[in-house]
Structure 1
């Protein structure tokens, strides 16, 4: 019997966490098994992007399924705003992190049989969102892969060097919070420090990669995260990619590596997967 292709569909729902209609895309695997629950992979898009990011990344998932390096899984990507969004729960405003971490998975669980333990994968702003979600909720995730994550080499708004917050990154730095407590709640490094024991006990698999000549100087933040993970004795995989920028010809191979990483973690978590 000829193998079916992966299937991508676009849906919308009225989200209570944001008070808006949210578009999302779902990618279903080829020959989707009907007799078992499947893991959920949260695909986080970058700044100035949308759920169409999943359509662009679809070949990476298809390759992994064809190679047998990714188990059958349900992949979802929600369209979220950049300004006013940033995967942040805004005080007295939209709760974009809760949308991704809670409301959307709950919606999908009413339609699909979902296995415990999600994967999270994201690029740039999406890498920031993926890390935040997984590090804050390690019991819900098996693995997180962050490519060129939009994170800073500092843990307070005032100490982020100017050259690390060009353009939209300055907006992100400000959106993370004016006061120290709010900023800390949105800082990947601070979440990691505050949740270290849970991350270790849940054996969350962590993959971070960044080009060494990233045009937005995100390599500095990635190195800072590696140092923090090492300091806290949290196991992780870190790829510092020579001669690679933010999004260039090497991006496709790096995305393939991230998807394979998620696949290995999901396979290891459940040996019943084909």
Structure 2
């Protein structure tokens, strides 16, 4: 593992590391914010942030303003890339499939299956790496935006007991029913829609063995609200299953990082309460 960026930030350090991922079969970059409490020798909780389409590890650390709140609460922030990278990694040449669009699934179809195993990378390999190399306590939370919000919800639902809390901004809650998800799932998982359900938050809710409360932030002026996000589907699924959900619709806010930056402090406080 090699540190490739190192910047002082709110009394702590915003770093970026590069490592060889055995799960993905390529070199991967991930960002780590170590708050000032890391200097004391204390073991700290970790929030994993999953970004959306076209993003890398850079978007969250440069636009969200989360470090200030992480420093206040003593939380380590970890932000991985959104897909495998490299010259030998399959790509589709568009923004919504291939590099930058891993959808946090384990692909089963070629040519994607060789590298696109982002679920296992986020849920298992990356936390093991973080907990072996940083002052992490083992208390974990997960959050994300858009495609990453989908990833946060599904990874938390698929891995009961692994996370203390989960939240999402503008998540794709029912990828099996919207164009972004249908395109990606058909490519990565094949045409059998039954196989898609294992990565669809709305489908997973009914059989969830853990009733981990979901916190979902959604902008009312989001340009993708009615076509790609459709939070009312998650609300209906949670009501039917008796699953706790706090869905907050914020009038006037769009799909951008202006929205995330406006409410990331509330989410960090939410996760801090759950992890400490």
Work out which of the residue numbers 8, 30, 34 in structure 1 matches 2:14.
8
Alpha-carbon distance between aligned partners in 1 of 2:181 and 2:195, rounded to the nearest angstrom: 17
Paired residues in the alignment total 246
**Superposition misfits of 4+ residues, deviation over 4 angstroms:** none
- The answer to which of 74-83 and 10-19 deviates more is 74-83
Cα offset for 1:43? 0.9
**TM-score normalised by L of structure 1:** 0.81
Work out which of the residue numbers 201, 206, 217 in structure 1 matches 2:214.
206
- In structure 2, the CA distance between the partners of 1:6 and 1:33, relative to structure 1 (3 Å rule), is closer
Alpha-carbon distance between aligned partners in 2 of 1:45 and 1:93, rounded to the nearest angstrom: 22
1:173-194 deviations in Å (ceiling 9; x for gaps): 5345421331111111122222
Residue of structure 1 in register with 2:52 after alignment? 46
- In structure 2, the CA distance between the partners of 1:251 and 1:40, relative to structure 1 (3 Å rule), is closer
Alpha-carbon distance between aligned partners in 2 of 1:249 and 1:54, rounded to the nearest angstrom: 11
Equivalent residues in 2 for 1:1-274, closer than 5 Å: 5-57=11-63, 59-63=65-69, 65-66=71-72, 70=73, 72-81=74-83, 83-84=97-98, 85-91=102-108, 92-94=113-115, 95-152=117-174, 157=176, 160=177, 164-165=178-179, 168-174=180-186, 175=188, 177-195=190-208, 198-200=209-211, 204-217=212-225, 221-247=230-256, 249-267=258-276
**Greater percentage in strand:** 2
Alpha-carbon distance between aligned partners in 1 of 2:38 and 2:12, rounded to the nearest angstrom: 9
- In structure 2, the CA distance between the partners of 1:172 and 1:255, relative to structure 1 (3 Å rule), is farther
Alpha-carbon distance between aligned partners in 2 of 1:99 and 1:64, rounded to the nearest angstrom: 23
Cα offset for 1:207? 0.5
**TM-score normalised by L of structure 2:** 0.80
CA contact (8 A) 2:35 2:70 kept: no
Q: Which runs of 5+ in 2 are unaligned?
A: 1-8, 84-95
1:82-121 deviations in Å (ceiling 9; x for gaps): 6231111001333111000000111112112432331111
Cα offset for 1:74? 1.8
Alpha-carbon distance between aligned partners in 2 of 1:8 and 1:220, rounded to the nearest angstrom: 31
Question: Once superposed, what is the RMSD of the aligned Cα atoms?
Answer: 2.4
